[in-house]
């Protein structure tokens, strides 16, 4: 896999190769999260998109500087709402604990929730309007805490884990394919909320220019040590140019290219650290007594239950853990892009593609998950060039203006779906356990 | 007079659109529920299969239009639909033969079949986009309105207009005919009864001499008819865009589960439940209250329970509530 990426570096450019590599790393993290749920415990989670988006939300809330005006305009109302929501949840908990299950209780809770929502809406409305009126072209939202964005990776995990707790409480009792549908739909609800609550994250107006954990290209290009570094690396090439001003121009060009490669390398280092830490943790977990118990639950729920294992609790735990890892990946993704675009969260890209990675790589095997993330993402990006090559190869006999050939070349971007689908179908049929199947060595 | 105006307003903006949208969802939901009941898996390729059928219909419509064949006031697509159905059935049967059959014979768990259907979804999506492209296609022709809003106002002298699009009437009529035929088939004919038996208890059905191959084939044929007609009606009423069809899969699933999965009648009603609640909860009632309340009490705000952005979220929330309180759906389907 690395060889392929290096080949891209040599033939296309190092910039592209590194961005593919970074996305591969992020995909690998997501795949590991899904793999923990599916491979370890047999829980199907089609809500990956929702957790990714929550991770991204965390990145925004942590790193953006607070918008003081908006806070003074509507902060009080929003805080009031938060208290109301907490109070509502507490009241419902109280009722659930202290009253017997009956029709009256159910109706009372329903009435309580509906009136609570109405009350919250009425309190929030003026605040939200005031916030969204504050300089709507640039801010129009509350902003965040102005902390370094790297913290958001942890906060993203907590956000996603929190959502997973709620979803797990609601849906984990369902049969597998229903769990799939329910999680998919719940993730759509999450996206709808993130998209349309402008006061929180500007909604579809996007948040751009997030802080970075890596230096900026522009700063690098004027730093002495970096220019010297680039000069050193390319000294052989530079010495061939005798003219001084020419040499300077070439050096400048190299510095500009080098700076973006350098920034990407910084990201790669950070992401690689995360992947390695997660890999160590998940491998340890896989071979621990806990991992054995999870496999026992997956393979025979009733037997595990009879042995005194709390299946429901363990399912909830692993659901939260896996989702939290996906949340980390979501925050990493936004960190890398430097922008948060709720409109770009589509189930195709963030749920089904990740599942293709899990299945292709090999469920239950962490290395398989990483391999799946790398291989599938690489194919997803490079599918268009490959398809173009194949089309040109097979239609070589046709004239350049043949309608079919032109039509095929026009629709090159969609061949990636075809490749993903065929790949998934072939793997499911002939290697149902994935490229690297689960292998448990008992020590 | 004001009350009449208010009623017409509701009829125009809530009842008719919801009825149309509900019919389209209902057809899709019966498709999902049949596949679930008889082939026993959640078909994630639902939306894309519908878009495949619609695509073939559109291609034939264009072909007929180029030949100059038309139905006058009715859209040409109506004659193209049978061809769409034919291609859809061929496509579905070949997919079944090359993909699903293997897992069915091996008695794979339903999750695996659902995963495989995701592969089918990817492939179908690619095929549709490669053939017709990802952009919006309109293929409606013929008379657009049966009653125009302005004519209605002039006719009745009311303030509010009532617009009735011909596609809406066609949708509702076709749905009624199709669904009654389907229920007649399922409840009265021998094949339909054997399908039900197979869905209830596979082993028992096999023991009593029901041919599983025939059942599976008929299921796909019915599914093809439902998918193509449902998709084509949606395309006629709104417009055809592969991405929208993929998204429609979600409310369709919601409708099928709300109605009780595996129960065709439940799925049929589930479509309307989803459509009506989506539109009821996101409609701004300001104008309605302006008509029925005295002037002093007129509302300031839009009187909208939820903004229209949350349309999809409404149906999903209903689904979650149903799953929590009645996991088998409103009409008892299979217990999940």
Domain boundaries of chain B, sorted by first residue? 2-325
CA–CA distance from A45 to each of A293, A310, A380 (Å)? 20, 20, 22
Domain A2-66+143-430: CATH class, spelled out: mainly alpha
Mean pLDDT of A27-44: 91
Residues in chain B within 8 Å Cβ distance of A417? 122-123, 125-126, 129
Please say whether the beta carbons of A264 and A19 come within 8 A. Answer: yes
Contact A170 B112 (CB under 8 A): no
Rounded to 5 degrees, φ, ψ at A204 are -75, 0
Residues of chain A in Cβ contact (below 8 Å) with chain B:
44, 106, 170-171, 173-178, 180-182, 184-186, 188-189, 192-193, 195-196, 348, 352, 355-356, 359, 408, 410-411, 414-418, 420-422, 424-425, 428-429, 432
Helix (H) or strand (E) holding A103: helix A103-133
Given pLDDT bands bounded at 50, 70 and 90, which one contains residue B86?
very high
Please say whether the beta carbons of B256 and B47 come within 8 A. Answer: no
Q: What span, in angstroms and rounded, lies between the C-alpha atoms of B14 and B12?
A: 6
Rounded to 5 degrees, φ, ψ at A102 are -155, 175
Q: What span, in angstroms and rounded, lies between the C-alpha atoms of A113 and A102?
A: 17
Question: What residue ranges do the domains of chain A occupy?
Answer: 2-66+143-430, 74-142
Q: What span, in angstroms and rounded, lies between the C-alpha atoms of A62 and A51?
A: 16
Rounded to 5 degrees, φ, ψ at A331 are -65, -40
Q: What span, in angstroms and rounded, lies between the C-alpha atoms of B228 and B82?
A: 9
Q: What span, in angstroms and rounded, lies between the C-alpha atoms of B306 and A128?
A: 15
Contact B254 A176 (CB under 8 A): no
Contact B121 A352 (CB under 8 A): yes
In chain A, whose CA is at the least distance from the CA of B250? A185
Q: Is B284 helix (H, G, I), strand (E, B) or coil?
A: strand
Please say whether the beta carbons of A27 and A354 come within 8 A. Answer: yes
CATH topology of domain B2-325: ABC transporter involved in vitamin B12 uptake, BtuC (1.10.3470)
In chain A, whose CA is at the least distance from the CA of B124? A418
Q: Give the per-residue pLDDT at B335.
A: 44
Tokens encoding A18: 């590194």
Name the nearest CA neighbour of B320 among A177, A115, A184: A184
Please say whether the beta carbons of A297 and A43 come within 8 A. Answer: no
State yes or no: pLDDT of A195 exceeds 70.
Answer: yes
Q: Which of B115, B125, B336 sits opposite A175 (nearest CB)?
A: B336
Q: What span, in angstroms and rounded, lies between the C-alpha atoms of B98 and B92?
A: 10
Q: Is A208 left (phi over 0), alpha (psi -120 to 50) or beta?
A: beta
Mean pLDDT of A229-238: 77
State yes or no: pLDDT of A364 exceeds 70.
Answer: yes
Q: Is B165 helix (H, G, I), strand (E, B) or coil?
A: strand
Q: What is the pLDDT of residues B14-66, one digit of tens each?
A: 899 999 999 999 999 999 999 998 888 889 999 999 999 999 999 999 999 89
With b meaning 16 or more CB within 10 Å and e meaning fewer, what string describes A171-207? bbebebbbbbbbbbbbbbbbbbbbbbbbbbbbbebeb
Q: Give the per-residue pLDDT at A426.
A: 92
Tokens encoding A184: 């998919």
> Torsion angle of alpha carbons B48, B52, B57, B62, nearest 10°?
110
Q: What is the ipTM of this complex?
A: 0.86
Q: What is the pLDDT of residues A9-32, one digit of tens each?
A: 777 778 888 888 999 999 999 999
Give percent of chain A above pLDDT 70. Answer: 99
Residues in chain A within 8 Å Cβ distance of B323? 170-171, 174, 178, 182
d(CA A274, nearest CA chain B) in Å: 29
Please say whether the beta carbons of B160 and B11 come within 8 A. Answer: no
Q: Which of B257, B310, B319 sits opposite A192 (nearest CB)?
A: B310
pTM more than 0.90 = no
In chain B, whose CA is at the least distance from the CA of A424? B119
Q: Which of A170, A173, A176 sits opposite B111 (nearest CB)?
A: A176
Q: What span, in angstroms and rounded, lies between the C-alpha atoms of B169 and B16?
A: 9
Q: Give the per-residue pLDDT at B183.
A: 92
d(CA A349, nearest CA chain B) in Å: 11
The gap from C-alpha B58 to its chain's centroid, in whole angstroms, comes to 18
Given pLDDT bands bounded at 50, 70 and 90, which one contains residue B301?
low
Q: What is the pLDDT of residues B106-160, one digit of tens each?
A: 988 888 898 899 999 999 999 999 998 888 888 888 777 888 878 888 887 777 7
Q: What is the pLDDT of residues A404-416, one digit of tens each?
A: 888 888 888 888 8
Residue with tokens 């469920």: A363
Neighbouring CB atoms inside 10 A of B82's CB total 14
Q: Write down the H helix ranges in chain B.
A: 2-10, 16-34, 46-67, 77-95, 101-105, 110-132, 149-156, 166-188, 190-200, 202-207, 212-237, 242-259, 264-282, 286-292, 311-325
Q: Give the per-residue pLDDT at A161.
A: 94
The residues near B57 (Cβ < 8 Å, ≥ 6 apart) are B77, B80, B81, B83, B84, B139, B228, B231, B232, B235
Q: What is the pLDDT of residues A62-83, one digit of tens each?
A: 888 887 777 777 778 888 888 8
Q: What is the pLDDT of residues A122-156, one digit of tens each?
A: 777 777 777 777 777 777 777 778 888 888 899 99
Question: Which residues is B74 bridged to in the sheet?
Answer: B71
The residues near A173 (Cβ < 8 Å, ≥ 6 apart) are A312, B327
Q: What is the pLDDT of residues B215-269, one digit of tens each?
A: 999 999 999 999 999 999 999 988 899 888 998 888 999 898 888 888 888 899 9
Q: What span, in angstroms and rounded, lies between the C-alpha atoms of B229 and A272?
A: 50
Mean pLDDT of A315-343: 92
Q: What span, in angstroms and rounded, lies between the C-alpha atoms of A21 and A334?
A: 16
Residues of chain B in Cβ contact (below 8 Å) with chain A:
41-42, 99, 102, 109-112, 114-116, 118-127, 129-130, 133-134, 246, 250, 253-254, 257, 307, 309-310, 312-313, 316-317, 319-320, 323-325, 327, 336
Name the nearest CA neighbour of A64 among A132, A129, A142: A142
In chain B, whose CA is at the least distance from the CA of A356? B119
Please say whether the beta carbons of A361 and A372 come within 8 A. Answer: yes
Name, of A326-330, B41-45, B250-254, B319-323, the range with top average pLDDT. A326-330
């Amino acid at each position: 896999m690395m060889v392929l990426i290096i080949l891209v570096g040599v033939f296309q450019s190092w910039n592209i190769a590194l961005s593919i590599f970074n996305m591969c790393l992020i995909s690998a993290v997501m795949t590991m999260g899904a793999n923990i749920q599916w491979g370890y415990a047999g829980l199907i989670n089609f809500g990956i998109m929702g957790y990714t988006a929550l991770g991204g939300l965390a990145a925004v809330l942590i790193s953006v500087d607070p918008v003081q005006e908006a806070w003074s305009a509507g902060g009080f109302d929003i805080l009031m709402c938060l208290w109301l929501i907490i109070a509502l949840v507490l009241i419902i908990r109280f009722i659930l604990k202290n009253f017997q299950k009956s029709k009256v209780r159910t109706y009372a809770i329903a009435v309580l929730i509906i009136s609570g929502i109405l009350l919250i809406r009425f309190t929030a409305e003026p605040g939200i309007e005031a916030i969204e009126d504050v300089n709507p072209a640039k801010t129009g939202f509350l902003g965040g805490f102005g902390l370094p964005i790297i913290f958001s990776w942890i906060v993203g995990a907590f956000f996603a884990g929190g959502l997973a707790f709620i979803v797990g409480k609601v849906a984990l009792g369902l049969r597998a394919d229903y769990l799939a549908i329910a999680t998919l739909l719940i993730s759509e609800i999450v996206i709808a909320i993130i998209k349309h609550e402008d006061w929180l994250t500007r909604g579809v107006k996007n948040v751009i220019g997030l802080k970075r954990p890596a230096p900026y290209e522009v700063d690098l290009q004027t730093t002495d040590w970096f220019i010297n570094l680039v000069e050193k690396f390319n000294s052989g090439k530079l010495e061939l140019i005798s003219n001084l001003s020419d040499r300077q121009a070439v050096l400048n060009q190299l510095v500009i290219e080098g700076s973006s490669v350098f920034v990407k390398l910084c990201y790669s280092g950070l992401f690689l650290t995360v992947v390695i830490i997660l890999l160590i943790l998940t491998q340890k977990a896989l071979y621990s007594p806990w991992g054995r118990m999870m496999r026992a639950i997956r393979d025979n729920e009733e037997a595990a239950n009879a042995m005194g294992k709390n299946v429901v609790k363990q399912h909830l735990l692993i659901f939260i853990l896996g989702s939290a890892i996906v949340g980390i990946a979501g925050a990493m993704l936004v960190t890398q892009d430097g922008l948060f675009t709720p409109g770009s969260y589509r189930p195709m890209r963030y749920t089904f593609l990740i599942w293709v990675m899990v299945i292709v790589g090999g469920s239950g095997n962490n290395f398989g998950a990483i391999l799946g993330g790398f291989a599938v993402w690489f194919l997803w990006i490079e599918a268009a060039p490959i398809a173009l090559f194949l089309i040109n190869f097979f239609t070589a006999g046709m004239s350049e203006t043949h309608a079919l050939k032109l039509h095929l070349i026009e629709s090159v971007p969609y061949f990636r779906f075809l490749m993903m689908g065929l790949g998934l179908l072939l793997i499911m049929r002939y290697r149902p356990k994935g490229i690297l199947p689960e292998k448990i060595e008992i020590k | 007079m004001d009350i009449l105006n208010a009623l017409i307003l509701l009829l125009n903006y809530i009842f008719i659109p919801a009825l149309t949208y509900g019919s389209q969802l209902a057809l899709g939901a019966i498709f999902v529920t049949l596949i679930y009941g008889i082939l026993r898996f959640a078909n994630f390729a639902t939306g894309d299969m519908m878009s495949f059928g619609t695509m073939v219909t559109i291609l034939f419509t264009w072909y007929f239009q180029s030949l100059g064949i038309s139905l006058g006031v009715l859209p040409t697509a109506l004659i193209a639909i049978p061809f769409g159905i034919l291609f859809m059935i061929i496509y579905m049967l070949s997919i079944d033969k090359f993909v699903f059959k293997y897992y069915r014979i091996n008695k794979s768990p339903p999750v695996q079949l659902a995963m495989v259907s995701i592969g089918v979804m990817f492939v179908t999506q690619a095929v549709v986009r490669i053939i017709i492209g990802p952009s919006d296609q309109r293929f409606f022709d013929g008379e657009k309105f049966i009653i125009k809003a302005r004519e209605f106002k002039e006719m009745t002298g009311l303030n509010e207009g009532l617009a009735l699009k011909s596609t809406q009437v066609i949708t509702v009529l076709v749905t009624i005919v199709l669904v009654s035929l389907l229920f007649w088939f399922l409840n009265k004919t021998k094949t339909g009864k054997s399908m039900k038996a197979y869905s209830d208890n596979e082993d028992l059905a096999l023991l009593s001499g029901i041919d599983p191959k025939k059942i599976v084939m008929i299921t796909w044929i019915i599914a093809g008819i439902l998918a193509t007609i449902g998709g084509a009606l949606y395309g006629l009423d709104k417009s055809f865009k592969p991405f929208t069809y993929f998204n429609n899969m979600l409310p369709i699933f919601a409708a099928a589960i709300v109605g009780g999965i595996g129960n065709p009648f439940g799925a049929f009603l589930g479509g309307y439940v989803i459509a009506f609640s989506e539109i009821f909860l996101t409609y701004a009632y300001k104008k309605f209250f302006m008509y029925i309340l005295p002037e002093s009490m007129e509302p300031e705000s839009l009187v909208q329970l939820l903004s229209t952005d949350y349309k999809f979220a409404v149906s999903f929330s209903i689904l979650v509530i149903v799953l929590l309180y009645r996991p088998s759906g409103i009409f008892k389907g299979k217990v999940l």
